[in-house]
């Protein structure tokens, strides 16, 4: 075996074939040598994609098997599979068993490879805090973790503390309150709702520690260091799909192990002077709000509840009045209709970092918030749009999912500090179906006369007073009476105990408490079961949660959190 400071080289065998293996700089490669000493095909693995190096002949799939020999070692690494159908190719675990001429050579290879791993892949996590939602998606969270994820973590030498949740918000509260010393990241096994718990925990904890008020819409929030990882086991898996390119638990696990890091924009949603929630995928009013409210009543259907509710709400053919104000982003940098896609190493996102953090000190990796406590992000000229809408959606990223592989806004960026605001005005049912259907094919969903899209930094939504006057003229006493009863006690109005149902009424109640009585009278709230008149307000769907307010303000915080991901790898690389 030859070892110099930059290169390690020796002959090795795989089965009965001889190879010349070398480790130089960032790569470990092996080239087959035929009987006449000619070089044949070379396989190269970047050190950053090595998962583990083990003594002996080791297998971990379908189950663990170790043959403890003196002269063998097994290399595990990221293997790119053939391309998936229309989506990026999944990653799997590659494995090669090498046989060395002697034990000394074998031990040297193991030492050299492990040293290279430490040197060339320094940002890998060592200890992780894992939350499993046993009830998410098809209820396979625990099984997915124990059969697919845990063996890979063990192989990579990652230790994990696992919490199987027993109630909603347990993961969020744990992150907000417990000692997190020693953890390099937090992982959720679940869907977008579970991710959202981690997001709120991590952002909240970071602001607490930095002494920053989350409620202040104008403040510059402290970016979060603790990385978040997502093992998809939910219904929509939108955040995972958009940041990795596929919802595959093994692919996600491998990205976590190699310590990939993808910054992500976050939208904070406020009601008056309080923070309501954070969102990374979709804040949607009208159609998507109604679909979510309806789907809560059909949770037992699992992921199918969205399709069923989607059809029901589509058939309801509602539209809602609204006043939307937005602060446009710089149109010279990018546009939602420029036909680009945000892929791994995206130039727009990397160039945004300097703009978003002008005081970032790269030598100490510190964000100096005391230089600019208050952000200039809310300065600029607001644009107002008023009308009746089928839906109003705001998304910080493309929000793609298996149902819609290119997403709500295909050219949106993960980490550019902006979101796309999509306004779909009232139209006929066929027009709206065309809009929805275009999410599933290659046609441009924005190329329709009733759709507009804007790249924005902030948005405000309110109910136009004019519209409410009109409703008043209709003089709907029945709706008025229901609204007043809801104000007194939402439970009295509906005998049904279904969570989403009363939640919807509750949403109406909270809102009414905050508006003038003249408005109160004219907001008929209809649940479809016990109320009879159509309502003129919808609800907001914020990453799969119904918001308790209608008139909200949203602001985008560029690159606020980091995920164990790298964006979507261009499939031509696979």
Catalytic residue annotation: 192
- Residue whose CB is less far from Ca ion, 172 or 555: 555
With left for phi above 0 and alpha for psi between -120 and 50, is residue 181 left, alpha or beta? beta
Burial of residue 428 (number of CB atoms within 10 Å: 0-12, 13-18, 19+): exposed
- The interface partner of residue 49, options being ligand 1PX, ligand ADP, Ca ion, none and the CB cut-off 5 to 8 Å by kind, is none
**Residue 447: how many other CB atoms lie within 10 Å:** 9
- Residue whose CB is less far from ligand 1PX, 222 or 393: 393
- The interface partner of residue 476, options being ligand ADP, Ca ion, ligand 1PX, none and the CB cut-off 5 to 8 Å by kind, is none
Strand partners, 24: 7, 27
**Residue 123: how many other CB atoms lie within 10 Å:** 12
Tell me which of 21, 93, 396, 456 binds Ca ion, using CB under 5 A: 396
Q: Which residues bind ligand 1PX (CB under 6 A)?
A: 191-193, 234-238, 281-282, 288, 291-292, 306-307, 310-311, 314, 399, 401, 403-404, 408, 433, 436-437, 439-440, 541, 543-544
- The interface partner of residue 168, options being Ca ion, ligand 1PX, ligand ADP, none and the CB cut-off 5 to 8 Å by kind, is ligand ADP
Written as one string, the DSSP assignment of 300-358 is GGGGGHHHHHHHHHHHHT--EEEEEEEEE--TTT--TTS----BTT-HHHHHHHHHH-T
- Residue whose CB is less far from ligand 1PX, 135 or 382: 135
- Residue whose CB is less far from ligand ADP, 120 or 140: 140
| Alpha-helix runs per DSSP H in 225-277 | 238-244, 249-257
Tell me which of 200, 205, 413, 522 binds Ca ion, using CB under 5 A: 413
Residue with tokens 């510059």: 220
- Helices 305-316, 429-437: axis angle to 10 degrees equals 150
Contact flag: residue 265 with Ca ion (CB under 5 A):
yes
Strand, helix or coil at 170?
Answer: helix
Q: Is the dihedral of CA 445, 447, 449, 451 positive or negative?
A: positive
Structure tokens of 376? 């200039």
- Residue whose CB is less far from ligand ADP, 185 or 232: 232
Nearest distance from residue 168's CB to Ca ion, in Å? 27
> Residue with CB nearest ligand ADP?
191
- Residue whose CB is less far from ligand 1PX, 161 or 437: 437
Residue with tokens 């679940």: 190
Number of residues that this document lists for the chain: 574
Give the residue from 294, 311, 329 showing the smallest Cα distance to 432.
Answer: 311
Nearest distance from residue 483's CB to ligand 1PX, in Å? 26
Binding mask of the shown chain, residues 117 to 156, with x at each position contacting Ca ion by CB under 5 A: ----------------------------------------
The CA distance from 377 to 382, in Å, is: 12
Classify strands 127-132 and 159-164 as parallel, antiparallel or unpaired. Answer: parallel
- The interface partner of residue 314, options being Ca ion, ligand ADP, ligand 1PX, none and the CB cut-off 5 to 8 Å by kind, is ligand 1PX
Q: Stretches 92-100, 395-403, 422-430, 459-467: which one binds Ca ion (CB under 5 A)?
A: 395-403
- The interface partner of residue 306, options being ligand 1PX, Ca ion, ligand ADP, none and the CB cut-off 5 to 8 Å by kind, is ligand 1PX
Nearest distance from residue 282's CB to Ca ion, in Å? 12
- The interface partner of residue 166, options being ligand 1PX, ligand ADP, Ca ion, none and the CB cut-off 5 to 8 Å by kind, is ligand ADP
**Residue 114: how many other CB atoms lie within 10 Å:** 14
Q: Which residues bind ligand ADP (CB under 6 A)?
A: 133-137, 165-169, 190-194, 197, 234-236
Contact flag: residue 555 with Ca ion (CB under 5 A):
no
Residue with tokens 């009476």: 481
Q: How far is CA 257 from CA 116, 124, 481, in A?
A: 16, 6, 58
- The interface partner of residue 135, options being ligand 1PX, ligand ADP, Ca ion, none and the CB cut-off 5 to 8 Å by kind, is ligand ADP
Nearest distance from residue 402's CB to ligand ADP, in Å? 12
With beta carbons less than 8 A apart as the criterion, state whether 390 and 431 touch: no
- Residue whose CB is less far from ligand 1PX, 193 or 490: 193
- Residue whose CB is less far from ligand ADP, 79 or 142: 142
Nearest distance from residue 399's CB to ligand 1PX, in Å? 5
The CA distance from 323 to 373, in Å, is: 30
Q: How far is CA 80 from CA 91, 107, 250, 253, in A?
A: 5, 28, 12, 14
- The interface partner of residue 140, options being ligand ADP, ligand 1PX, Ca ion, none and the CB cut-off 5 to 8 Å by kind, is none
Nearest distance from residue 312's CB to ligand 1PX, in Å? 9
Strand, helix or coil at 368?
Answer: coil
Q: Which residues of this chain interact with Ca ion, rule CB under 5 A?
A: 265, 396, 413, 416
């Amino acid at each position: 075996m030859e070892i110099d400071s930059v290169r390690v080289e020796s002959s090795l065998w795989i089965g009965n074939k001889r190879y010349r293996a070398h480790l130089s700089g960032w790569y470990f490669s092996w080239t087959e040598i035929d009987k006449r000493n000619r070089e044949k095909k070379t396989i190269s693995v970047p050190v950053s994609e090595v998962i583990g190096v083990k003594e002996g002949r080791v297998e971990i799939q379908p189950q663990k098997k170790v043959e403890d020999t003196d002269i063998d070692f097994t290399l595990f690494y990221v293997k790119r599979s053939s391309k998936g159908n229309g989506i990026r190719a999944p990653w799997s675990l590659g494995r090669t068993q090498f046989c060395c001429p002697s034990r000394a050579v074998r031990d040297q290879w193991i030492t050299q490879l492990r040293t290279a791993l430490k040197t060339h892949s320094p940002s890998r996590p060592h200890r992780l805090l894992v939350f499993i939602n046993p009830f998410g998606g098809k209820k396979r969270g625990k099984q997915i973790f124990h059969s697919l994820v845990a063996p890979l973590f063990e192989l990579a030498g990652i230790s994990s503390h696992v919490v199987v949740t027993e109630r909603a918000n347990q993961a969020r509260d744990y992150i907000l309150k417990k000692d997190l010393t020693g953890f390099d990241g937090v992982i959720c096994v679940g869907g977008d709702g579970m991710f959202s718990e981690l997001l709120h925990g991590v952002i909240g904890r970071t602001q607490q520690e930095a002494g920053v008020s989350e409620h202040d819409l104008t403040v510059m929030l402290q970016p979060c260091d603790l990385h978040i990882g997502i093992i998809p086991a939910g219904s929509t898996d939108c955040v995972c799909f958009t940041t990795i390119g596929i919802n595959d638990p093994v692919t996600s696990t491998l990205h976590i192990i190699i310590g990939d890091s993808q910054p992500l924009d976050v939208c904070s949603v406020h009601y008056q002077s309080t923070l309501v929630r954070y969102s990374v995928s979709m804040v949607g009013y009208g159609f998507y709000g109604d679909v979510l409210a309806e789907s809560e009543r059909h949770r037992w259907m699992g992921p199918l509840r969205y399709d069923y509710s989607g059809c029901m709400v589509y058939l309801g053919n509602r539209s809602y009045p609204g006043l939307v104000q937005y602060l446009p982003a710089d149109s010279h940098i990018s546009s939602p209709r420029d036909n680009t896609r945000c892929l791994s190493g995206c130039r727009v996102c990397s160039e945004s970092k300097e703009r978003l953090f002008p005081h970032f000190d790269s030598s100490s990796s510190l964000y100096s918030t005391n230089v600019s406590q208050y952000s200039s992000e809310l300065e600029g000229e607001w644009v107002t749009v008023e009308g009746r809408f089928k839906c109003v959606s705001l998304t910080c990223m493309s929000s793609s999912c298996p149902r819609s592989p290119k997403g709500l806004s295909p050219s949106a960026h993960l980490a550019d500090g902006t979101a796309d605001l999509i306004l779909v005005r009232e139209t006929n049912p066929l027009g709206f179906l065309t809009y929805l259907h275009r999410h599933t094919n290659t046609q441009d969903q924005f190329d329709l006369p009733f759709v507009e899209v804007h790249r924005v930094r902030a948005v405000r939504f309110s109910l136009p007073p004019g519209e409410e006057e009109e409703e008043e003229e209709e003089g709907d006493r029945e709706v008025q009476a229901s609204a007043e009863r809801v104000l007194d006690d939402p439970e009295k109005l509906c005998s049904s105990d279904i969570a989403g149902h009363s939640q919807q009424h509750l949403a109406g109640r909270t809102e009414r408490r905050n508006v003038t009585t003249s408005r109160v009278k004219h907001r008929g709230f209809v649940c479809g079961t016990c109320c009879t008149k159509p309502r003129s307000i919808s609800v907001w769907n914020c990453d799969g949660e119904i918001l308790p307010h209608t008139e909200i303000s949203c602001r985008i915080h560029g690159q606020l959190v980091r995920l164990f991901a790298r964006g979507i790898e261009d499939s031509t690389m696979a």
